[in-house]
Structure 1
Amino acid sequence: MRSSIMFSKRHGFATVPPIQFRHDAPGGLRHAVIQAAYEHLSYSQIRTSICRTLYLVPNQGNWSEIPNIRDEVEDIIQGVEWYQVYDVIEGLVVFIEGTIGYAATEGFADRVNMIFSDTGAGWQFVAGDGIIIRGDGDFEEAVASSRDSLLQTGYDVAAKEIKEALGDLSRRPDPDLTGAVHHALGALEATARYITGSNDGLAKLASQIGLPKPLDQALEKMWGFASNSGRHVSPTNQPTPQQAQLIVHLSSAYCRYLADTSK
């Protein structure tokens, strides 16, 4: 049986490319996604899923799988807006699960994530969340470990706020940057309230939650910056994508530290 892992990966020659794009879906990625779906579905089924997602009418004059329906599917996926490609992928996940079952869905999702990684896409598919933003290794580790620690300690509200922050960063076609900052701060504030039992805001609780100096002061400064960007919104005071992602990253790291030390 042929291995699904390519030679370069099997022998350790392949390296993971850096993230190169988010607001895009290059032609190679689009084609690769269709071929990944074709490992589980016929082109007719792929067309049904895509048309269902994008509210399109299939070309009834195309009846042969290859080349007619195959070419129709390829023309559609190559012609839609970049963000619709990711909608199509999420639709295919649902279609495969409903048609074949969970095992096939998992295989397709794994293949899609490999495509994202190999092409440098700043996205990833996560079961239960859909396609969400993918950051560098440090960002991913901070967010994932933070959510795990918060859930393990019963800080469910804080964990939900981290998830909401990721969701805002992942909105397509335009991320909700102020929303991401707002929810990241909400995760920190909820964690601080769990620890202290107080309903005060984070600005007052920063020095009471057990952070060693000068981390408590750094948290206060981050709160001041993020509060201006995420809570006092104005046309001239919008966070940049990099700033919003940094706040989510730092908030996740703080939440994990506080959750772990409160156990």
Structure 2
Amino acid sequence: MINQPFSKREGLQDSTPLVYDDAPDSLRFGIREILMVLGYQEPSEQRRVLCGALRIPPDRSNWSEFPNVDEEVAGLTTVEPWYRFFDALERIPMFLAGKDVEAYYQRMNSLLSDEGVGYRFEAGAIVRLGTDEFHESVAIARTTLHYEKFVEPLRQFERAYEFRNSFPPDWPNAIKEAVNSVEAVLQVIYCRPGVALPTIVSQNFPEELPGGIKRLFHSLYSQGSGTVGARHAAIGGIEPTGPRAELAIHIASALNAFAVAELEI
């Protein structure tokens, strides 16, 4: 078990906003500390792991542990862009002894948390953190769409989540796939494959359904339509951001749940 530091034992927490889309120096330095704690004490052992994870051949002209190999390893941790370093963090377990892998994930998550970096390892992959409400909405969508007939909408929703978590994050496609998932749910419910969401809303939604609810569907569709890089984007569309993409995913989850519960015939 990892011994907790004073701040965690006392329940003290920094209120500084989380760092996204960056690999701060403290994180880069910390990976060497983790390798040392796991037993990879010599710089040459750390070089083997990091060179493998980065797909960079070691400098064979460096043979003395200090200062040559040690300086080479320090240089490896400065790789840019930031997401290439994160790719390497995901690949490091491939070059560790099996007994060290779980401890690596635990220590990496502690390091990410301690340094205020907005990512965590989940099931061997680094994922972007979000609010509890956001993650709850993702879980609701997965539960709502678990039926076989909704396999395609679920696949599209999962792709939206994957684009959100990619390195670097792909906000336009995250929004696009969130919209696609809602459109696909309506296509299944009303047996209208290939028909656009606005057409289904105007032609198939019950007349007694409040206009405000119908506008929510139109609003989500317009968010996808007006986003640079999205499938229906017009010239001069809105540049997507992380909060906008997460909002689209959150709304898509709620609308999918509503459609399955209230509109399915």
Say yes or no: TM over 0.5: yes
Per the alignment, do residues 86 and 146 of structure 1 end up closer, same or farther by CA in structure 2, a change over 3 Å counting?
Answer: same
Question: Aligned pair 1:195/2:196, yes or no?
Answer: no
Aligned to 2:142: 147
Structure number with greater Rg is 2
Contact 1:123 1:132 in 2 (8 A): yes
Aligned to 2:171: 177
Contact 2:179 2:252 in 1 (8 A): yes
Distance in 2 (CA, whole Å) between partners of 1:16 and 1:100 is: 36
The structure 2 residue matched to 1:168, chosen from 145, 155, 163, is: 163
Q: Kindly tell me the number of residue pairs found equivalent between the two proteins.
A: 253
Q: CA deviation at 1:71?
A: 4.1
Aligned to 2:239: 239
Greater RCO, CA 8 A, separation 6+: 1
TM value normalised by structure 1:
0.78
Gaps of 5+ in 2: none
SS in 2 for 1:78: coil
Q: CA deviation at 1:55?
A: 3.2
Map 1:36-185 onto structure 2 (within 5 A): 36-40=34-38, 42=40, 43-63=43-63, 69-96=69-96, 99-100=97-98, 104-127=100-123, 130-151=125-146, 153-154=147-148, 155-173=150-168, 175-185=169-179
SS in 1 for 2:126: strand
Distance in 2 (CA, whole Å) between partners of 1:164 and 1:140 is: 15
Per the alignment, do residues 257 and 127 of structure 1 end up closer, same or farther by CA in structure 2, a change over 3 Å counting?
Answer: farther
Aligned to 1:28: 26
Per the alignment, do residues 46 and 143 of structure 1 end up closer, same or farther by CA in structure 2, a change over 3 Å counting?
Answer: farther
Aligned to 2:224: 226
Per the alignment, do residues 205 and 35 of structure 1 end up closer, same or farther by CA in structure 2, a change over 3 Å counting?
Answer: farther
Q: CA deviation at 1:251?
A: 1.2
Per the alignment, do residues 192 and 94 of structure 1 end up closer, same or farther by CA in structure 2, a change over 3 Å counting?
Answer: farther
SS in 2 for 1:75: helix
Aligned to 2:7: 8
Instruction: Encode CA deviations 1:165-210: one digit per residue, 9 max, x unaligned.
Output: 122233334x332211111111112222343333233223347578
Instruction: Encode CA deviations 1:102-142: one digit per residue, 9 max, x unaligned.
Output: xx4333223323322332323232326x2233223322222
